[in-house]
Structure 1
Amino acid sequence: MTELLGLIFSPWTEKARWALDVRRVPYTFRHYKPLIGEPALRAKLGRLTGRVSVPVLTTDDGRVIADSADIARWADGRGDGPTLFPAEHEAEIARFIELSERALNAGRALSLSRMLADDEALADMAPPPIRRALGPLASRLGALGVRRTLRKYDGHTADLEAHRRALVEALEEIRAALALKARPDAGPKTLLGGFTFADITVSQALVGVMPPAELKLSPAGRRSFTDPELRERYTDLIAWRDALYGAFRAR
């Protein structure tokens, strides 16, 4: 059976899961455990050094795919459902993937920086058995993991103002792209005239503004990933994202 290794609270994992689900491709999901699961992940990817991350798909014939967009492309060739990568929209989808990545990278830095000031959210990062065993010290373990992630993706220092500008610029691009689309007779707007991977990837750009209800975060974790000021500024984009979930994401 095809297996997807990922994090239940990760928008990158959500991109892959949504693509597999909307194409109705059978798979099992396995939750990745950071730090303790890294040696096995490196062995699976054949990468002893450098950065490794999830999601990672292992197909039933043993192929290993380590990128959410590549996983979605693989899913698009199987199962049935909406065509996620129509040939006539390849360039536009690539542009929207890049736009989503800019927003997600900025949102991750901002959200994790907020988390460092929230002991409850930090403690929730530890697995429940470890959290129970460590008690108040669990937040310290969570802080180690968060700082490690920030170093992994953002170096030793984070220019939070630069990240905030990057996130706002990406959100404005999304708003402008949607403004160009006519409102359909039924259902939410889509970026390319029909539901594609462009909609999946761009919808995840809003995780650092206000995560969707479907993303598995604790209340404290959800608090860290919510930016109150941007949430109020981009209520239209949040409503669009939630409408996409309602129309195209199985509950």
Structure 2
Amino acid sequence: MTYRLIGMTASVATQRVLWALDYTEVPYTFEDYIPMISTPWLRARTRCWRGAISVPVLLGPGCCLLDSWDIALQINQDQPMAGLIPTPSQGEVAALNQLSEAIFNAARSLMLARALQDDQALLGAIPAKFPAWSRRPMLPMMRKTFRDLQNKYSEPGVSREQQLERLATAVGRVREQLDGKPYLLDRGFSYADMTVAAALAMAKPVPRSDSAPITAYERVNTCDEVVAAYPDVFDWRDGVVARHRYRSYLGNSCSGNRLPGKQHEP
């Protein structure tokens, strides 16, 4: 069976699922989701006619999963030998998944505020398949998309400083969990490392191997205060990505879809 994954390459939630699929060698095809443009079609396919809808979505025979953790559990069930979510450690992995959500939620709030002040960053969030000439006319749509996201996830009364403190606290917990270890679990690499590494890209994108200048989208995804306070955590993240993002559990090369922030400039 080959799954269809619908998602956005700029999405942390999509990237951790892509990583899990690649690592476990579970067959899938990927479909880019374009906010507003793809939304009616996505609602029809998922039969979610009301309320908020988001990606990633995993579709297959008798399968329609709309949450990245549920998708990870399904992938683990399909390929248990990969050790994505070891049964004895499932509770610990679930807790670390929640920690990654805390990182993501705080960093997303900070990023959205920065992006709405930077048109080049908004244009940089457009999927690379769109030609350069088509991007500038899409700017109003991207601005509306980011503003809608900001409204959707806003927390009235929570200041930038409070979000920054939340982010720093969550990244500090990653440092505590690692405690000098190469991986978050004592038993070795797992989905816990994938989801936390992906979430950290919202605070600092994974450096590109081509040494190209930082893009506008990468710039708004960078939280200098937290990066400066926890350089060891981001170094750990970079090492995990380098060792595991491009190899499956069997040691085979995998596609290595881009982590959040690895966008092409318009």
- Shorter-chain-normalised TM-score: which range? 0.7 to 0.9
Q: Which position in structure 2 is the counterpart of 1:195?
A: 189
Partner Cα separation in structure 2 for residue 22 and residue 56 of structure 1: 18
Pairing of 1:18-37 with structure 2 (within 5 A): 18-37=19-38
2:31 aligns to what SS in structure 1? strand
Pairing of 1:7-26 with structure 2 (within 5 A): 7-26=8-27
1:232 is the counterpart of 2:233:
no
% identical aligned pairs: 33
- Report the residue type matching 1:246 in the other structure: A
Coordinate RMSD, CA, aligned: 2.3
C-alpha distance 33-131 of structure 1, shift in aligned 2 (>3 A)? same
Q: Which position in structure 2 is the counterpart of 1:249?
A: 245
Shift of 1:219: 1.2
Shift of 1:162: 2.0
Shift of 1:110: 0.4
Pairing of 1:73-222 with structure 2 (within 5 A): 73-79=73-79, 82-126=82-126, 132-133=133-134, 135=136, 138-154=138-154, 159-179=159-179, 183=181, 188-213=182-207, 219-222=215-218
Partner Cα separation in structure 2 for residue 239 and residue 21 of structure 1: 23
Partner Cα separation in structure 2 for residue 206 and residue 175 of structure 1: 12
Which deviations, in whole Å up to 9, do the C-alpha atoms of 1:135-161 show, x marking residues without a partner? 4x6544322111011112225776322
- Report the residue type matching 1:204 in the other structure: A
The structure where helix makes up a greater share of residues is 1
* TM-score, normalising length: structure 2: 0.82
Pairing of 1:58-73 with structure 2 (within 5 A): 58-59=59-60, 61-73=61-73
Higher RCO (CA < 8 A, seq sep 6+): 2
Shift of 1:172: 0.8
Shift of 1:132: 2.9
Any gaps of 5 or more consecutive residues in structure 1? none
Partner Cα separation in structure 2 for residue 129 and residue 84 of structure 1: 34
1:120 aligns to what SS in structure 2? helix
Shift of 1:57: 0.7
C-alpha distance 123-156 of structure 1, shift in aligned 2 (>3 A)? farther
Q: Which position in structure 1 is the counterpart of 2:211?
A: none
User: More displaced, 165-174 or 218-227?
Assistant: 218-227
Shift of 1:190: 3.8
Which deviations, in whole Å up to 9, do the C-alpha atoms of 1:10-67 show, x marking residues without a partner? 11001111111111111111110111111111122221111110000112x2411111
User: More displaced, 154-163 or 62-71?
Assistant: 154-163
- Report the residue type matching 2:172 in the other structure: E
Shift of 1:206: 1.0
C-alpha distance 116-230 of structure 1, shift in aligned 2 (>3 A)? same
8 Å CA contact 1:24, 1:80 repeated in 2: no
8 Å CA contact 1:85, 1:197 repeated in 2: yes
Which deviations, in whole Å up to 9, do the C-alpha atoms of 1:125-184 show, x marking residues without a partner? 45675973574x6544322111011112225776322211111110111111111x5x4x
Which deviations, in whole Å up to 9, do the C-alpha atoms of 1:54-81 show, x marking residues without a partner? 000112x241111111111111122465
Partner Cα separation in structure 2 for residue 82 and residue 170 of structure 1: 28
Partner Cα separation in structure 2 for residue 41 and residue 198 of structure 1: 28
Partner Cα separation in structure 2 for residue 4 and residue 133 of structure 1: 25
Partner Cα separation in structure 1 for residue 156 and residue 176 of structure 2: 34
